[in-house]
Structure 1
Amino acid sequence: MDNALPKQAILVVNAMSRRGADVFEDARDKLVAAGVDLLEAHAVTEPEKMDGTIKDAIAKAPMVIVGGGDGSLSTNVDFFVGKDTVFAVLPLGTANSFARTLTIGTDLDAAIDVIANGRRKRIDLGVIDGDYFANAAALGLSPMIADTVPHKLKRYLGMVGYLIWAVRCAFKFRPFRLRVTTEDGAVHKVWATEARIANGRYHGGVELVEDQRIDSGDIVIQAVTGKSLLGLAWSWFATLFKLSGRERTTTEWRGRKLLLEARPRQKISIDGEIAAKTPVTVEVARGAIEVAAPRD
C-alpha cells in the first residue's frame, strides 16, 4: 500500500524522560518482535547529544522512532521537516499530549502496534518565530509551572506532581493583557490567565482545543479570558469533565498566521519546555512532516 510504513527504523530514546530508561530494552525487544527491523537502538543519557543522534538517524533510516516526553519530541521535530523520513512516536513522558493528538494514546504496546502496522500520515506543525513545534504551546500559568517544577517531582509523581506545583505557583501568578492580530489586520484585546497555541487538541494531557485537527491547515490561539485564577481552574475542570458551557470560558482565533503580544511580556512553553517570549508570530506549516499513525 502507498501509505505503508517502512519496516526498517532506528530507535532513539531520551533516557532522561519519565519512563525512558526504564522501558528502553523492553521497547526495543517488542519492536523487533512486532516485525520492525531496527538498524540501531540508542538510549541517550546526555540530553545535549539527543539532537545529533536523531539527525544522524534521519540520514540513515526511512523511519526514526523517538521515545520521550512532549518536550523531547517537539525539540527534535524540526529535523524531519523537508525529509522523507517518517517520524514515529513512543510516548514515555508525563502528559504525552502529542501521542494523544495522533490517537496513539499513552500505552507502550499500542504505540508499538502503530509503528509496526500503522500508516504514513502527513501532518501540520506549528511555528513560533521560525521554531517548529509538534502539538501545543502556552503562556500564563503553564509556563510558570514548566519553568520551575523540580525534575524529581515531575519524574516520580507525574501529573500529580504538576498539580502540587501548580497550586504553589498560583500564589505568585498575575493575569495579563493579551493582544491578537489576525491575518486581516483585525486586533483583538482581552484579559487572560492562560493562552494556548494549538496545532493539536491536547495540552497537559487534557483535550483543551476540541475542534482542532493536526492536518487542518490552521493554527489556533485559545485564551482563558478574565482575571480570576478560580476562573482558570473552572475552565480546566469544565473542559476535563466535558461540562456544558465550557466553551464560554475561552475565546479562540484561527488562521494561517497570527501575531501574539502580551502585557506584561510572557514566557512561552512549547510542548512543556520554555522556548520563547512574547511578542511572537505564530504560523502553521501545512503538511510539514510524515508520522506513523493508526490505520483507523
Structure 2
Amino acid sequence: MGELRSKAEHTEAIRTKGRVRVVVNTRSRQGRRHYPAVVRALRAEGFDSIRFLPVVDPKRLRATLEEALADEPDLLVVGGGDGTLSAAVKHVAHRDVALGVLPLGTTNNFVRSLGVPLDLAGAVRVLRTGKVADIDLGVAGDREFANLASFGVSVEVAGKVRHGVKRLLGRAAYPLTALTVLPGHRPFRAFLTVDGHRHELLTHQLNIANGRFHGGWQVARDISIDNGRLVAYQLGSGKRLRLLLETMVRAGSGRWRSLAGGPFVVGREMHLETDPPMAADVDGEVRLMTPITIRTVPNGLRVMVPDDFVDS
C-alpha cells in the first residue's frame, strides 16, 4: 500500500474536502430500517463529495467495498452487522483511507470499542467532528480481525442463534441461545503459550480479544483496542453450571472486570492448541482451526473516532 498521510492531515481532509463513500448492508435488519435516516443525516453534515452504495445482495458486499475504494475516498463509512464490518476491515487495513462505523449491528462490539455513540445521529456527528486514529488489528493465522477470536460454545451459538430471535431480543439473543447449547456441550482443554509461558486450562469457552467488548458487554475496563496487546480469558471453567451462572450474570449486568482481578492472559502474540482441535470464530467468520497463532498488528487500521478517543 502507499504512504499514509499524517493523522492530522487526514482529519483535515475529511473535514474540508470530505470525499466520502457510504456502504450500508440494507439486507440486515438495522441497515434496512435505518438506511433512509443514514442518507438524510450524512447529507445534512454537508460533505462535498458523497456517494451511497447500498448492498441489497450480501454476495455483492466485497465487490461493493472494492467499488467504493476505487474512488479513493478519504472516508469509507460502513453500516451493518459483524460480517459487514469484518469485510470492511479487511479491505481498509493498511490503506490511506479512514473507516467510519455506524451502529447498525446487533451487538456493535467494534463501534463500542471505538467509543462511537450508539445513536445514529451521534455516530454521524463523529464522522464530521471527530478525528482520524490508527488502531491495532489482530491476526489469526492469515486473517486480520478487529475485535475477537473465540473458541468453544460461542462457535455453536453463532451457528444456532435464530435471526428472528436476534431481531426481537438484540444482543440478549446470544446468551439466551447459549443456555440451550450448554447442556450438551463438552469442555475442552486449551494450551496457551504467551511470552514463553504455557498456560493450561479446562473450559467451555476461550476468547482472545483485540477490542474491549464481547456480545455488547465490556470485557474489562483496562482493555484497549489501541495498546498493542491481546487479552485471552475464559468464561467459566470445565463445569457447565459455572459457565451457566457467568452467562446469566453477564446477560443481566455486563459488569466490568479488571485485568488485575480476573483470569486474563495478556501478550502481543499467543499460540493456542486445543484438545480436541476446535474451530475458531474470527469476528463472525468460522474458517480456521486450532492449533493457531494469534498476534497484534499495531496501527493496522485507520478509523474515525470521537475527539476524546485516546490514540496511543
How does the TM-score come out when normalised to structure 2?
A: 0.87
User: Is the 1:5–1:292 contact (alpha carbons within 8 Å) kept by the matching residues of 2?
Assistant: no
Tell me the number of residue pairs that the alignment of Structure 1 and Structure 2 aligns.
294
Q: 3-state SS of the aligned residue for 2:271?
A: strand
Q: Deviations over 1:164-192 (max 9, x none)?
A: 322211222121101101132x2211111
Q: Deviations over 1:211-252 (max 9, x none)?
A: 22111011121123521222223334556453789976x522
Partner residue, 1:107: 119
Counterpart residue type for residue 222 of structure 2: D
User: Is the 2:219–2:257 contact (alpha carbons within 8 Å) kept by the matching residues of 1?
Assistant: no
User: Which runs of 5 or more structure 2 residues have no equivalent in the other structure?
Assistant: 1-7
User: Is the 1:200–1:209 contact (alpha carbons within 8 Å) kept by the matching residues of 2?
Assistant: no
Partner residue, 1:286: 298
Partner residue, 1:125: 137
Of the three residues 216, 233, 239, the one matched with 1:222 is 233
Partner residue, 1:171: 183
Change (3 A) 1:25 1:36: same
Of the three residues 175, 189, 192, the one matched with 2:200 is 189
Cα distance in 2 between the residues matched to 1:243 and 1:116: 31
Q: 3-state SS of the aligned residue for 1:154?
A: helix
Alignment of 1:53-68 (within 5 A): 53-60=64-71, 61-68=73-80
Q: Deviations over 1:140-162 (max 9, x none)?
A: 22111101222232234322433
Cα distance in 2 between the residues matched to 1:75 and 1:155: 22
Cα distance in 1 between the residues matched to 2:232 and 2:13: 33
Alignment of 1:1-296 (within 5 A): 2=9, 3-4=11-12, 6=14, 7-60=18-71, 61-184=73-196, 186-236=197-247, 240-242=253-255, 250-296=262-308
Higher mean alpha-carbon deviation, 161-170 vs 42-51, is at 161-170
User: Is the 1:175–1:191 contact (alpha carbons within 8 Å) kept by the matching residues of 2?
Assistant: yes
User: Is the 1:127–1:282 contact (alpha carbons within 8 Å) kept by the matching residues of 2?
Assistant: yes
User: Is the 2:174–2:215 contact (alpha carbons within 8 Å) kept by the matching residues of 1?
Assistant: no
Change (3 A) 1:19 1:246: same
Cα distance in 1 between the residues matched to 2:256 and 2:89: 34
Higher mean alpha-carbon deviation, 69-78 vs 201-210, is at 69-78
User: Is the 1:71–1:270 contact (alpha carbons within 8 Å) kept by the matching residues of 2?
Assistant: no
Cα distance in 1 between the residues matched to 2:12 and 2:52: 22
User: Is the 1:71–1:271 contact (alpha carbons within 8 Å) kept by the matching residues of 2?
Assistant: yes
TM superposition shift of 1:209 = 3.4
Cα distance in 2 between the residues matched to 1:38 and 1:231: 54
Counterpart residue type for residue 96 of structure 1: N
Higher mean alpha-carbon deviation, 117-126 vs 14-23, is at 14-23
User: Is the 1:146–1:273 contact (alpha carbons within 8 Å) kept by the matching residues of 2?
Assistant: no
Change (3 A) 1:11 1:267: same
Q: 3-state SS of the aligned residue for 2:184?
A: coil
Change (3 A) 1:155 1:270: farther
User: Is the 1:14–1:44 contact (alpha carbons within 8 Å) kept by the matching residues of 2?
Assistant: yes
Change (3 A) 1:87 1:280: same
Structure 1 runs (4+) greater than 6 angstroms displaced: 243-247
Q: 3-state SS of the aligned residue for 2:207?
A: strand
Q: Deviations over 1:43-92 (max 9, x none)?
A: 20211111111122122111110101122102321111221011110110
User: Is the 1:124–1:287 contact (alpha carbons within 8 Å) kept by the matching residues of 2?
Assistant: yes
